[in-house]
Amino acid sequence: MTDRYALVDANAATMEPSPDGYGLIPDAAIVIEDGRIVWAGMRGNLEGQYSGLREVSCGGRLVTPALVDCHTHIVFGGNRAREFEMRLNGASYEEVARAGGGIVSTVAATRAATEDALLQRALVRADALIAQGVSVIEVKSGYGLDRDTELKMLRVARRIADLRPVRVRTTFLGAHAVPAGADADAYIDNVCLPALDAAHGEGLVDAVDGFCEGIAFDAAQIERVFARARALGLPVKLHSDQLSNIGGTPLAARFGAMSVDHLEYATEADARAMAASGSVAVILPGAFYTIRETRKPPIAAFRAQGVAMAVATDWNPGSSPLGSLLLAMNMACTLFEMTPAEALAGTTRHAARALGLSDCGVIAPGKRADLAIWNVEEPGELAYGIGINPLHARVFGGVHELR
């Protein structure tokens, strides 16, 4: 049986490329059939074949594509609140690490947690994102740094989508940190690459990522991971130029990365390389804010080069304990001078592209009916509010859910 209905009494920001930045359709109708959008346009132009359809009123509200959080680490054990307090009391990074804090503490807690315990904690985080109109969450591994825990994290990520109305894209991030006491090269060859093979063998990997940074892995080490990804037929993305520039971005571009993420220390030349490879720049203001970074990503260069920009939470227990994609949009505007339209494209159309998804991120015929209905008068309000959640309802695969 086909289920067909029309959303009406809506102002739609389709997020299709357009001069207004939003692809606005006033007094829109959106026809949904079996979970897909089959028609979108001005209600007055609704084609005859759709007249007499069951109508669902949006009460004059704004409708956008549902949001996509294209960079998160929401599967992890423990928390790092005490480390936050220590830093505010003047403790150095080294003192925090010596007191058992930092990324190694999250690795220890993630290894110690059962799969079910990790899942319960991750579901709470997924629910917070869903409540803000998110329909796709990217989830990275990288707090296991051993084969079994990396696989455990990815299985938990997959299970989120079995238990909640959301799609999950998994990213293998075995090259996230060098385990305490290990040699980085030996870790890549003896742990990371075999873990990637095993995770891929179990169908747990949609993409492969790495942390190319002085405190993590250099470009030659990341290249070995990317070469294995290529051999397995998996797309790549990269944490690059967050704290320093050690050449990760040209490497990512050479491998045709779907996205390059963070990018505070990226140069004009890096932006040109990304333009040539078609890689999306994923802007992560939550990490910039948390670590009190002062160097900003080269937004103007991305704009000038036509590099698509996405915005994400980077939700993780260390550098970005940020559970709000709307707040990430606000921060991208206030901290980096992105426009509200760029911020919304960054959590819809461009975020979908950063994940290699072509079936969502805009309101257009053929796309999934994943929509957000907001209690706002105009789309610029979404990035303008701070700590406000104006979601009225979400539509996921055509199913309309009131908040």
Partner from Fe ion, ligand DI6, none binding residue 135, C-beta < 5-8 Å depending on class: none
Residues comprising the chain, all counted:
403
Residues found near ligand DI6 in the complex (CB under 6 A): 103, 106, 176, 211, 239, 242, 287, 316-319
CA torsion, points 300, 303, 304, 308, in degrees to nearest 10?
A: 140
Is 69 or 314 the residue whose CB approaches Fe ion more closely?
314
CA torsion, points 160, 164, 169, 173, in degrees to nearest 10?
A: -30
Number of residues this chain uses to bind Fe ion (CB under 5 A): 1
Is 141 or 330 the residue whose CB approaches ligand DI6 more closely?
141
Under the binding rule (CB under 5 A), the answer on residue 69 touching Fe ion is: no
Partner from ligand DI6, Fe ion, none binding residue 103, C-beta < 5-8 Å depending on class: ligand DI6
Is 96 or 103 the residue whose CB approaches Fe ion more closely?
103
Q: What is the DSSP string of 345-395?
A: HHTTHHHHHHTT--SSSS--TTSB--EEEES-SSTTHHHH-SS---EEEEE
Is 243 or 369 the residue whose CB approaches ligand DI6 more closely?
243
Question: CB of residue 158 vs ligand DI6: minimum separation in angstroms?
Answer: 21
- Of the listed pieces 11-19, 74-82, 310-318, 326-334, which binds Fe ion according to CB under 5 A? 310-318
- Of the listed pieces 243-251, 292-300, 306-314, 363-371, which binds Fe ion according to CB under 5 A? 306-314
- Of the listed pieces 122-130, 194-202, 243-251, 314-322, which binds Fe ion according to CB under 5 A? 314-322
The kind and range of the H/E element at 330 are helix 325-336
Measured distance CA(87)–CA(138) in Å, rounded: 29
The kind and range of the H/E element at 10 are strand 4-13
The strand pair at 237-240 and 259-262 is best described as parallel
Question: CB of residue 56 vs ligand DI6: minimum separation in angstroms?
Answer: 42
CB atoms within 10 A of CB 295: 14
Look at the block and give the residue holding tokens 């150095």. 92
Cβ atoms of residues 204 and 151 within 8 Å: yes
Question: Considering only CA atoms, which of 129, 79, 70 is closest in space to residue 106?
Answer: 79
Nearest position to Fe ion, beta carbon: 314
Question: CB of residue 243 vs ligand DI6: minimum separation in angstroms?
Answer: 8
Cβ atoms of residues 374 and 348 within 8 Å: no
Is 133 or 317 the residue whose CB approaches ligand DI6 more closely?
317
Measured distance CA(133)–CA(29) in Å, rounded: 20
Partner from ligand DI6, Fe ion, none binding residue 319, C-beta < 5-8 Å depending on class: ligand DI6
- Of the listed pieces 4-12, 49-57, 77-85, 309-317, which binds Fe ion according to CB under 5 A? 309-317
Question: CB of residue 292 vs Fe ion: minimum separation in angstroms?
Answer: 17
Cβ atoms of residues 273 and 249 within 8 Å: yes
Binds Fe ion (CB under 5 A): choice among 150, 213, 270, 314: 314
Partner from ligand DI6, Fe ion, none binding residue 333, C-beta < 5-8 Å depending on class: none
Partner from ligand DI6, Fe ion, none binding residue 317, C-beta < 5-8 Å depending on class: ligand DI6
Cβ-in-10-Å burial (0-12, 13-18, 19+) of 182 comes to: middle
Question: CB of residue 387 vs ligand DI6: minimum separation in angstroms?
Answer: 23
Question: CB of residue 37 vs ligand DI6: minimum separation in angstroms?
Answer: 35
Cβ atoms of residues 169 and 139 within 8 Å: yes
Partner from ligand DI6, Fe ion, none binding residue 290, C-beta < 5-8 Å depending on class: none
Question: CB of residue 108 vs ligand DI6: minimum separation in angstroms?
Answer: 12
Nearest position to ligand DI6, beta carbon: 318
Question: Which three-class secondary structure state does DSSP give residue 181?
Answer: coil
Is 11 or 72 the residue whose CB approaches ligand DI6 more closely?
72
Measured distance CA(293)–CA(183) in Å, rounded: 28
HSE, CB side, 13 Å, CA atoms: give it for residue 398: 17
Interacting residues toward Fe ion by CB under 5 A: 314
